[in-house]
Amino acid sequence: MKALIQRVADAKVVVASETIGQIGPGLLILVCAMQGDDTAKSAQLAAKISKLRIFPDDAGKMNLSLKDTGGSALIVSQFTLAGDTSRGNRPGFSTAARPEEGKTLYQQFIKEMSDLGIKTQTGQFGADMKVTLTNDGPVTLWLDV
C-alpha cells in the first residue's frame, strides 16, 4: 500500500457540495491499495502512520506521534498514487488494485486506524472529491509498505 500523509492544522473533504469528513489538527492520509496488497499490509501501514513522530513536542522538535497528540486522521482513497509516468505524459494506473479490492483494503485501513485509537473521518471511495487542507509545517511524507 502507498500513502501520502500531510500534517495538517485542519482538512475536509466535500462530495457533491456536502462536507462528508472534516478534522482539526492531525493527518490527511491519501491512501492507495496496490496489486498484491492484503490486510497485513493495511495493518502495517496503519501501525506505521499511527506511531510516526512528526508532531512537535514542547521544545518544537518533531517528537510526538498522532497517538501522542490525540489528533485525528482524514483518510481519503487516492488511486492516482499508483500513477506511472515512466512512459509518455499520460499516467498509467495498471499497478493499482482493482476497484473492489481497493475499496476493501481502504475500508480495512480505516478500521485499523480506528482500532489503534485514532479518531478518523473519511472520504468516499470512488467519488469525485474536493479536498482542502491547511498544511502544518509543511510536513508531507510518502510511505510505501
138 falls within a domain: no
Active site includes 22?
no
Position 81 scores a pLDDT of 96
Active site includes 80?
yes
pLDDT interval class at 140 (50, 70, 90): very high
pLDDT in tens, 18-72: 999 999 999 999 999 999 999 999 999 999 999 999 999 999 999 999 999 999 9
110 falls within a domain: yes
Catalytic residue among 6, 78, 120, 122: 78
pLDDT interval class at 9 (50, 70, 90): very high
139 falls within a domain: no
Position 144 scores a pLDDT of 93
Active site includes 134?
no
pLDDT in tens, 68-119: 999 999 999 999 999 999 998 999 999 999 999 999 999 999 999 999 999 9
Catalytic residue among 19, 35, 39, 80: 80
140 falls within a domain: no
Residue count of the chain: 145
For residue 109, the 8-state DSSP code is: H
Q: How many Å apart are CA 43 and CA 62, to the nearest integer?
A: 24
**What is the value of pTM for the model shown?**
0.96
Domain CATH number, residue 77 = 3.50.80.10
18 falls within a domain: yes
Q: Which residue has the cell 485542519?
A: 10
